[in-house]
Amino acid sequence: MVRTLLNLAVFLATAAIALLLTSLLVPGFHVHPGGFIVAILVFAVVQALIEWLVRSLFHRAAPTIAGIAGLISTFLALLVASLFGGVGFDGIAAWILATVVVWVIAAVLGWIAGRFITPRFDKGRTGKR
């Protein structure tokens, strides 16, 4: 249970940081202050569901299509977040660039979190079952 909550916190933090950094790096991509929390929640939930669905459907080829699945889930998550008014785009170029930048940032932050946060949590456990 604690590990699930930790993963959820890391996923939400990763989404928040990725969206904020992308709004600073990509001209034409905007995170609306009033919809920031909604954007984070919608983005994180939609991306997690789509990623899970793609991995479930293509579990044997998951390493091969992980990048494509990540880009597709990021694109769709940004689409849904924009429908809720949390993010906005000034054109197709901003949409495409924001998708790639959010995906890269989220992937790097997810890797860092998995490498440094989760192992520390696991080392604290003692005893075998």
Q: What is the pLDDT of residues 56-112, one digit of tens each?
A: 776 666 666 767 777 888 888 888 888 888 899 999 999 999 999 998 998 898 888
Mean pLDDT of the chain: 80
Residues 6+ apart with CB under 8 A from 51: 69, 70, 73
Q: Taking the CA of residue 114 as centre, how many other CA atoms within 13 Å lie in the half-sphere pointing to its CB?
A: 7
Condensed to tens digits (0 to 9), the pLDDT of residues 14-73 reads: 888 999 999 999 999 999 887 788 888 887 787 777 777 776 776 666 666 767 777 888
Domain boundaries along the sequence of the chain = 2-123
- Indicate whether this model's pTM tops 0.75: yes
